[in-house]
């Protein structure tokens, strides 16, 4: 592989300074051609995945499809189709090139997609409608799906707009999305806007008009340092009194907003169309953004059967979702069958310590560093538990408990999209945004997403195809049974 070539240096600059994804991709492809990475892609063999297994699976799929044997295709896919078969999702397979991966892996994903399409269109004299429906339901459930999790990060959270904008434009936005604190605002935008509406809602001008004064100093001696009414009015303007169920019916996206209890002996809650269909999104987002001391905690609200606005979980108030559930991956997995995560991470407590890819420890040093980090985390939690046990003051116990939750959480996913580590990011956290700062944040979010788009497409293509055809079959079944309006 070529290392020293003046053309590569120029292309590195072109990649770093690209003004669009098309220009970025073109420079990456040319870089891989000149550097010799394309030769690496064309060579099936690698110690980082089981290329023999993937070769065999591709051959079997091609033979079955060539024979028009849909039953054989179903059998092959049933045998063990999953997102990391033979370790094909290993992040190390991306380290040898600027874009793409082994051609064999891309061929395998394409063959699986063609097999899925073939099964859907198979002659129903041989595979009837209900056999197809059963196959797609079982396979989609077993294969799982991806989710997008948007972390907290106060004003820096508008970085998420660029991430979502890029995913939306390339039609790679997952249908399962969670948001905590600032991330809950963007998650709610995703859940209440169609594809076209979202293009406009994520523009710097639209965000600026909604949030230019969202932090108005209220002063000491109040229930919060900032005036919560200003933030709440901005959220009402965006989401009105729409419930999670109403949002799902409009966009078919599963959005979740996380909130933390403002008192002891309560757990964080995930508010969505499954767990709290009648809860009002505006109040859920307002609660999730209620950073302690900065904004006051909130009582949630919901619509009753008559459409009236009523308290939800009376006598309880909720606050910043990122304190206890910044990235609620395990609970999303239980609710929606998620087994792969894309994280847009802007939490200032986490960003300095994580990288864009989760790569298993390889060297002795990496293994030692990871082990020391895990020990430090577990020892810190043990020390905090001791302090909490010895503390009698209720307010102090609550504060200690929140600190424990912050340390205990996992702040990374399978794919991590992060803002650049720079001191000026700190200026975004508690300041009111300007049009210029929002434009910079959103553009940086888009740019940070470009290097992950091809990975996200590979990792989601099979699950999206399975769920698309499953949806088509369910829609057809509803029409035939007369269940549509």
Burial class, 206, CB count within 10 angstroms (exposed 0-12 / middle 13-18 / buried 19+)? middle
Number of other residues whose CB lies within 10 A of the CB of residue 377: 12
H or E stretch covering 465: helix 435-480
Number of helical (H) and strand (E) elements in the chain, helices listed first: 20, 9
Tell me if 158 sits within 8 A of 438, measured CB to CB. Answer: yes
Q: Which of 181, 201, 268, 405 is catalytic?
A: 181
**Euclidean distance between CA atoms 466 and 447, whole angstroms:** 29
Is 181 catalytic? The answer is: yes
CA-CA distance, 202 to 256, in Å (whole number)?
19
- Name the helix (H) or strand (E) containing 332: helix 329-336
Q: What would the two tokens of residue 190 be?
A: 């995703």
Distance between CA 9 and CA 15 in Å, rounded?
10
Taking the alpha carbons of 109, 115, 116, 118 in that order, is the dihedral positive or negative? positive
Tokens of 105: 């892996």
Q: Which residue has the tokens 């991590």?
A: 416
Q: Name beta bridge partners: 271.
A: 257
In contact, 384 and 404? CB cutoff 8 Å:
yes
* DSSP label at residue 36: T
123 is catalytic: no
Nearest to 269 by CA among 277, 258, 278, 279: 258
Tokens in use for 402? Answer: 């929140």
**Radius of gyration of the chain, Cα coordinates, nearest whole angstrom:** 24
Rounded to the nearest 10 degrees, how much is the dihedral formed by the CA atoms of 5, 6, 7, 10? 130
Residue 433 CA, distance from chain mean position: 24
Point out the catalytic residue in the list 227, 320, 326, 454.
320
Look at the block and give the residue holding tokens 């606005």. 309
The crossing angle, in degrees rounded to 10, of helices 244-251 and 182-192 is 50
The residues that are catalytic are 181, 320
């Amino acid at each position: 592989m070529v290392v020293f070539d003046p053309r590569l240096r120029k292309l590195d600059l072109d990649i770093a300074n690209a003004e669009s994804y098309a220009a970025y991709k073109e420079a990456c492809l040319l870089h891989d051609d000149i550097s010799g990475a394309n030769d690496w892609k064309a060579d099936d063999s690698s110690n980082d995945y089981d290329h023999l297994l993937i070769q065999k699976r591709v051959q079997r799929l091609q033979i079955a499809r060539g024979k028009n044997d849909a039953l054989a295709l179903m059998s092959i896919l049933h045998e063990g189709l999953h997102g990391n078969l033979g370790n094909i999702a290993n992040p190390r397979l991306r380290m040898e090139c600027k874009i793409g991966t082994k051609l064999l892996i891309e061929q395998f994903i394409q063959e699986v997609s063609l097999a899925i399409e073939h099964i859907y269109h198979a002659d129903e004299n041989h595979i009837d409608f209900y056999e197809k429906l059963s196959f797609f339901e079982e396979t989609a459930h077993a294969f799982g799906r991806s989710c997008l999790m948007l972390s907290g990060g106060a004003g820096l959270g508008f970085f998420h707009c660029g991430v979502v904008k890029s995913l939306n434009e390339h039609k790679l936005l997952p249908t399962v999305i969670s948001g905590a604190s600032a991330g809950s605002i963007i998650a709610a935008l995703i859940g209440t806007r169609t594809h076209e509406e979202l293009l406009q809602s994520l523009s710097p001008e639209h965000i600026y008009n909604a949030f230019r004064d969202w932090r108005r100093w209220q002063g000491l001696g109040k229930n919060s340092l900032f005036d919560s009414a200003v933030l709440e009015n901005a959220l009402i303007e965006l989401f009105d009194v729409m419930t999670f169920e109403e949002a799902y019916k409009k966009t078919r996206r599963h959005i979740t907003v996380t909130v933390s209890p403002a008192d002891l002996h309560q757990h964080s809650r995930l508010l969505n169309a499954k767990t709290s269909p009648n809860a009002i999104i505006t109040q859920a987002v307002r609660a999730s953004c209620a950073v302690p001391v900065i904004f006051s905690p909130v009582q949630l609200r919901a619509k009753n059967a008559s459409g009236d606005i009523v308290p939800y979980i009376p006598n309880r108030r909720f606050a910043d979702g990122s304190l206890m559930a910044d990235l609620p991956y395990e609970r999303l997995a239980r609710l929606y069958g998620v087994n792969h995560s894309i994280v847009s991470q802007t939490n200032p407590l986490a960003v300095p310590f994580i990288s864009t890819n989760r790569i298993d420890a390889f060297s002795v040093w990496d293994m030692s560093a990871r082990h020391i980090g895990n020990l430090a985390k577990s020892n810190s939690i043990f020390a905090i538990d001791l302090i909490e046990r010895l503390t009698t003051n209720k307010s102090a116990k609550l504060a200690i408990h929140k600190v424990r939750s912050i340390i205990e959480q996992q702040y990374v996913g399978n794919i991590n999209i992060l803002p650049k580590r720079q001191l000026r990011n700190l200026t975004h956290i508690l300041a009111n945004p300007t049009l210029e700062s929002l434009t910079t944040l959103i553009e940086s979010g888009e740019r940070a997403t470009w290097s992950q788009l091809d990975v996200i497409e590979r990792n989601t293509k099979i699950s999206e195809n399975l769920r698309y055809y499953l949806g088509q079959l369910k829609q057809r079944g509803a029409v035939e049974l007369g269940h549509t309006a």
